[in-house]
Every structure is written in C-alpha cells, then in structure tokens.
Chain A
Amino acid sequence: MSAESRLDILTRINRARAREAQPFVRVPVRPSTRPHGDVVEQFAEYAAEYRANVVRVDAGGLPGAIRDALAARGSERVVIPPDLPTAWLPAHLPVTGDQPGTTDLTAFQAVVTGCAAAVAESGTVVLDHGPGQGRRALTLVPDHHVCVVWEAQVVDGVPEAVARLAESVRAGRPLTWISGPSATSDIELSRVEGVHGPRALDILIVGD
C-alpha cells in the first residue's frame, strides 16, 4: 500500500506544478553586535523571567552552588550523566552515575547536567545530549534539574544557537531546548509550572 501511495503522492506533487514567484534567497545569520557580558546578563534575566532559578558563579564557586541548589529544594537522591566532570561537584556529595538500561530514573529527585548552548534572546538552554548531558530521559524524569551553563556557551539570538548546534544535528544527536520549567496555560490561560517535566530548573551560569 505504502509504495503505491508514495508514487501516487509524488505524482500529484509533480502535477501540481507549484512554482516559485521569486528566486529564493536565504538570509544569513545576523551576527550579535553586543558585548558578550550584556548577552550573558540578558540570558540570566530572561531565564529567570521564565521562573528558572538563576545563579551566577565563578568556576571555583560551582561545586558550592550545586550543593546549595540541591539543598534548597531538599534534593538528596541525585543522578548525573556518567561523564559529568567530577570537578563540578562538591566533595562527598552522594550521586549516582546514570547507566541507561539499568538505572531507574524514578528513584531520583534531582539531576545535574551541563548543556550544549544557551540563548539570551529567549532564555533557553539547549542540550544536545553529548558529554555531560546524558540521555534525554535523564533530564526529564527527576523533578529537579540543575543545569550548568558556561558563559562562553551563551549566544545572543536563536539563529546563532541553531548555527552552533548544526554539527550535533548532522551527527544525528537529539536536541532538547528548555526554557524554564515545564508549564501549562491550558486552564483559562493561567500559567502553572511543573506539569510533566521537572518542576524546578536551576541554571548556574559559570564565569570563565
């Protein structure tokens, strides 16, 4: 059935003879013209507007910030991607390295990951599930996501982020774009945070 349908649909498309009115020109990505400090500042502001808890630290302060973020929500059972840099974590923090196929993610309250990029214009963090980010379910099932963003990972606009992620996509990696915690506005358009995804999102922005 499908082969016949395929041929039929393709034939109809050819017969439709849709033609372009004008030659198509793709507009190149507009480069950011702002100092990077302003870009990072706006990312922090916009992510916070979408109810992410945003903290800015320097590299030395990262382990402490992770400890504080977990403690603030009482998250004790913590899972991490197996390749998360250990230097990020506070000493003596009990964590479990995720083993896809065996780890029961419902047993954990929180997850700590890195990211692939962040977007100032929209307050978004993007995971390409590469090193330090884990499989997709890892940042979905536990109720609290602590996400580490390095200042150099923050770009100004969506087009720059898309350009930066092109390599990951071409490599066949999935992407997850996250802008604040899970939310719904389905009931009378009033916003409720935390439906199915993590109800709390902490973004730790680390200075270089």
Chain B
Amino acid sequence: MSAGGIVPQRTFQEAARATLANAQMRRNLQHATTTIREKRLRAVAELPDWEDLRIQGAAIKDHVMANLGDYLLDLEAAVKARGGHVHWARDALEAREIVAGIASSHGAREVIKVKSITTDEIELNGGLAERGIHAIETDLAELIVQLSEDLPSHILVPAIHRNRAEIRDLFRRKLGAELLTDEPKQLAEAARLYLREKFLTTKVAVSGANFAVAETGTICVVESEGNGRMCVTLPEVLVSVMGIEKVLPTWQDMAVYLQLLPRSSTAERMNPYTSFWSGVTPGDGPQEFHLILLDNGRTDVLADEVGRQTLRCIRCSACLNVCPVYERAGGHAYGSVYPGPIGAILTPQLLHLENKNANTLPWASSLCGACYDACPVKINIPEVLLYLRGKITEDRPLSAEDTLFKTAAWVMSEPHRFEGAIKLARTGQGPLVKQGAIHALPGMLGGWTDTRDLPAFPPQTFREWWRGRPAPAMRGTEGNAQASEGQPLAPQREERSI
C-alpha cells in the first residue's frame, strides 16, 4: 500500500466534500484542533522571548537558504568523517531506489520506519513494496493509517480523523488484538506488543530527520512514543531521508528549534524523546548509517524569491491547528502528505505550479492570517498564497472569470465607470430581489446564495448621498459632539436589507 505522495487526485473543492459531509470526522477534527490550539497558546506564553525566538528561527533558516550548498557540503563531510554514508537524490524515484538498494544489500524483506513525512512524500512504502520489501510504520498513528489503508490527514497526528472505536475495530481485525475496551491505553498496549518484536528483530530501519547540523554531522529526530529511539538505536542499519532544507549551520542553532518546535507542535514544553546521532558510534546503535539528501522540487522553491520562505518550515503543524479551513475540510482535502496552510503553499510549489489540482490549493484559504501568527518560523503563508494565486492565474489560458475580473478592474479604475456599473446593476437586479435581499444567483455565484442571502443594491450610493448634502456652511459642523448631535441627516430612503 502506498502512503501518500504529493500529487492531489482532485481539486480542493471536490476533495473537501467528503469530510464536510462526514459529521463524525468533523467532530474528531474540531475536538482535536480546538484542544491543541488552546494548549499551544499556554505553552507559548511561558517563554517571554517567544517573538525573538521566532525571528531567530526565521533568520537562521534564511541564512541557510542563502548558503545552502555550503552547508550541505559541510554536512556531507561531517557525516562521512563519522563513518556515515551520504547520498543525493534529485527526486522521489532516486530516493526510493537508494533506500531499496541499501535494504536489498542486507537481504532485508522488512524495514521498520519512524514516522517521517518526507518518506511519505516520496511514497517510500509503495516503492519498497514493489521490490518485495515491506515497510512497517512504528508510530502509533502511522500504524493506524497503514493498517486501515488510509492516508495521513495531519502532519503531527496523522490519524486525527479516527476516533477510538474505529481504532479498536481496526486493531481487532488487523492485529488480532483481544481488546475489551476502546480505552486509548489498551489500544497503545496492543500496538506495543505487536511492534516490540519487530524492533528487536528487524535489521534495517528508515527515518526522516527533523534537523541536521552541518558543523558536526548530527542528525536529530524528535518524537514522543519511543518508536523513534527504537528505530535509530536497535537495528544494524539506519537510513535517514531528509529534505535538503533541514540543515542547520551549528550545534548551538539547535537551541532555537528545540524551543520552537515542541511548543508549536504538540504544545508541550518538550516532547518526550529527542535523539541526536553523528554518523556511527562504535558499540552503540546501528553500525551502518546512510543519509539521503532529497531535492524533489525544493531547489525550484529556493529559486523563487517570494516562495522561498516556505522552506523554513519545520513541520510543526501549528498552522493546521489554527486554520479554520483545515478544521472543516480536513487533511485529506489537500490531496498531499502536506495538508493545511503549509500544504496549500508547499504542494503546488513542489509540483512546479504545473499540477491543475494542486493549483487549486492556494485558493483553499479565507486569508484570515491565523497561520502566519502561529508559525514559529514566521512563514508569511497568506502572502505566499496570494503570490501563488497571481502566478497561477497569469500562467493559465484566459477564462470567463479572467474576463470578468479584467473588466471589473477597468471599470473600477475610473469613478465614472464605477458609478455607471452600479446604476446598471441596480436596474438589473430587479427580478432577483425579494424582501430587500437576493436569495438566488445564477452560475458561479450560486455557491454563495445556496446558503446565504446577499443584500440588494440600495437606491442611493454613498456618493449620491454625499452630493446631496447641504454645503458645509449650512451644516455647522464645527464644534463639539453635543452641538452637532441634533443635526438632521440626509433622508434615508430604505432600511438596510440585512
């Protein structure tokens, strides 16, 4: 089975319908996002220099982007000096082949995996399966997703859309677990029993990397359950796949992200376990280590001056949890392993703005700005959304919508045309208006009036009212509030329609 990829199969609007129509899933999502939102605010408030940390978090990443080649070469040299191997993969296919080649060279039929969105991005599990290698997800949520042949719906909590009863049924069916209740504690225990044996017997493990320190060749994996520690410690061979943007210059830079990441993602002061390793440690952990540096569209994002900030992302998922669109439409609507606001800007860019479905993602936002406020590395997501909307609109063939907007701009750029258009609309709206409001519009605009009324154009515009006012000398506007209170206003012709 394949877990993910980044190519949406449908438009956002089409894909969102499934979740919007699923009351259970919407309740799960709302509960989860509301809980974690409130918790995050408390975790962030504890650090008095949070805003400074965000600025540092952004600045370090921008500095990395400006010197990416140098830092990658430093990282490569440091990892090699500590006995590790470094591979470079231009795209998903190359990365999959490298992992499969390493596994095959050890005769492995099974590999264990730490939750890694990057390996989901390259559809590693499916790629390995084609070569007869079974990848076992060891993160509880990823295991749930894998066993149910589902797709992850959240960066941090991939099974956020599933509730306990669904998970109990799944474990009974797939793991043969004898589960008496659907208590999360029992469910976690069932997963523990199933996976413990895998951890102790599997030879090859695959992980992602949250950070990599160029200076020391140190890789970092941040987690909660201990499955990460198991994978990076117990097997003989470890392969870590990381996007090239994850590199940091120095060890001290880790301090910034070890403060920003846990508080932004799980809203904790610190996640239960963080592992760091540099190449191979004699007598401790895997004695063969491979680091795969993955491009897969990232250098194109890097080349775009506005889009580049997307590469600061540390995959915390704070933007998902505060996003009102994500909360309603769910992670699957984004059709990619990168859901939510960050997915709406990252997915289309990784696909070079050439995928029609991915190109609907920048419109999957009301531009409320909550994501930008929450982002620990200050990615101005609304700005990038607008920028991408512009690029996508510019590049596509002219549509009826384009003509409408272009005409509107021409009309709006001259007041007399604007006024003329309102007069025209006022006359034209006649048949649509019932009791002062519009209840049904034709065509594309029908999406609005399916559930909402629109106000009708009132008989007089503001500028018509303004022209009809008495001259200033006759109004006696100079003076205090009391003096002018009794002044009559221009007669009002009609009540507002809403």
> Are the C-beta atoms of B69 and A187 separated by less than 8 Å?
no
- A188 touches B (CB below 8 Å): yes
Residue of A nearest to B53 (CB): A27
Residue of A nearest to B259 (CB): A158
B-side contacts of A12, CB under 8 Å: 295, 299-300, 302-303
> Are the C-beta atoms of B299 and A9 separated by less than 8 Å?
yes
Query: In the complex, A148→B263 CA distance in Å?
Result: 26
Query: In the complex, A25→B59 CA distance in Å?
Result: 8
B-side contacts of A166, CB under 8 Å: 251-252
> Are the C-beta atoms of B200 and A106 separated by less than 8 Å?
yes
B-side contacts of A184, CB under 8 Å: 140-141, 184, 188, 224-225
A-side contacts of B316, CB under 8 Å: none
Q: Mark B209-247, 1 if CB is under 8 A from A, else 0.
A: 000010010100000111101100110000000001000
Stretch of B82-90, B323-331, B445-453, B475-483 at the chain-chain interface: B82-90
* Residue picked from A15, A16, A135, most chain B C-beta under 10 Å: A16
A-side contacts of B195, CB under 8 Å: 196
> Are the C-beta atoms of A100 and B227 separated by less than 8 Å?
no
> Are the C-beta atoms of A195 and B94 separated by less than 8 Å?
no
> Are the C-beta atoms of B88 and A169 separated by less than 8 Å?
no
> Are the C-beta atoms of A123 and B270 separated by less than 8 Å?
yes
B-side contacts of A129, CB under 8 Å: 281, 284
> Are the C-beta atoms of B302 and A18 separated by less than 8 Å?
yes
> Are the C-beta atoms of B69 and A10 separated by less than 8 Å?
yes
B-side contacts of A91, CB under 8 Å: none
> Are the C-beta atoms of A163 and B252 separated by less than 8 Å?
yes
B-side contacts of A113, CB under 8 Å: none
What size tier do the contact residues of chain B reach?
A: 35 or more
What's the least CB distance linking B208 to chain A, in Å? 17
**Known contacts A106-B200, A180-B272, A186-B157: does B28 contact A137 (CB below 8 Å)?**
no
Residue of B nearest to A170 (CB): B216
B-side contacts of A36, CB under 8 Å: none
- A19 touches B (CB below 8 Å): yes
B-side contacts of A14, CB under 8 Å: 69
What's the least CB distance linking A85 to chain B, in Å? 20
> Are the C-beta atoms of B270 and A179 separated by less than 8 Å?
yes
- A26 touches B (CB below 8 Å): yes
**Known contacts A12-B299, A122-B269: does B251 contact A192 (CB below 8 Å)?**
no
> Are the C-beta atoms of A18 and B32 separated by less than 8 Å?
no
> Are the C-beta atoms of B218 and A169 separated by less than 8 Å?
yes
Query: In the complex, A124→B270 CA distance in Å?
Result: 7
> Are the C-beta atoms of B276 and A175 separated by less than 8 Å?
yes
B-side contacts of A157, CB under 8 Å: 259
Query: In the complex, A169→B36 CA distance in Å?
Result: 33
- B3 touches A (CB below 8 Å): no
What size tier do the contact residues of chain A reach?
A: 35 or more
Query: In the complex, A140→B231 CA distance in Å?
Result: 11
- Dominant SS at the B interface? helix
> Are the C-beta atoms of B252 and A162 separated by less than 8 Å?
yes
**Known contacts A24-B60, A140-B230: does B272 contact A182 (CB below 8 Å)?**
yes
A-side contacts of B204, CB under 8 Å: none
Q: Mark B72-107, 1 if CB is under 8 A from A, else 0.
A: 110000000010000111100010011000000000
> Are the C-beta atoms of A183 and B258 separated by less than 8 Å?
no
What's the least CB distance linking A191 to chain B, in Å? 8
B-side contacts of A185, CB under 8 Å: 157, 224, 266
What's the least CB distance linking B158 to chain A, in Å? 8
- B144 touches A (CB below 8 Å): yes
> Are the C-beta atoms of B63 and A24 separated by less than 8 Å?
yes
- Contact residues, A142-159 vs B (CB, 8 A): 157-159
- Contact residues, A42-75 vs B (CB, 8 A): 46, 50
Residue of A nearest to B95 (CB): A5
> Are the C-beta atoms of A10 and B284 separated by less than 8 Å?
no
> Are the C-beta atoms of B279 and A188 separated by less than 8 Å?
no
Q: Mark B12-44, 1 if CB is under 8 A from A, else 0.
A: 000000000000000010011001100000000
> Are the C-beta atoms of B285 and A16 separated by less than 8 Å?
no
> Are the C-beta atoms of B88 and A5 separated by less than 8 Å?
yes
- A132 touches B (CB below 8 Å): no
- A207 touches B (CB below 8 Å): no
B-side contacts of A161, CB under 8 Å: 255
Query: In the complex, A181→B224 CA distance in Å?
Result: 9
> Are the C-beta atoms of B252 and A26 separated by less than 8 Å?
yes
**Known contacts A129-B284, A180-B272: does B226 contact A188 (CB below 8 Å)?**
no
A-side contacts of B277, CB under 8 Å: 174-175
* 21 A-B interface contacts by CB (under 8 A): A5-B89, A9-B90, A9-B293, A27-B52, A27-B56, A122-B262, A124-B270, A166-B251, A169-B278, A184-B225, A185-B157, A186-B144, A187-B159, A187-B188, A192-B184, A192-B188, A195-B227, A196-B196, A197-B226, A197-B272, A198-B226
List 6 other contacts, CB 8 Å, given A5-B88, A18-B65, A195-B192.
A5-B89, A157-B259, A159-B259, A195-B188, A195-B226, A196-B192
Q: Which 9 A-B pairs have the closest CB atoms?
A: A197-B226, A196-B226, A122-B270, A12-B299, A16-B303, A182-B226, A186-B141, A195-B225, A177-B274
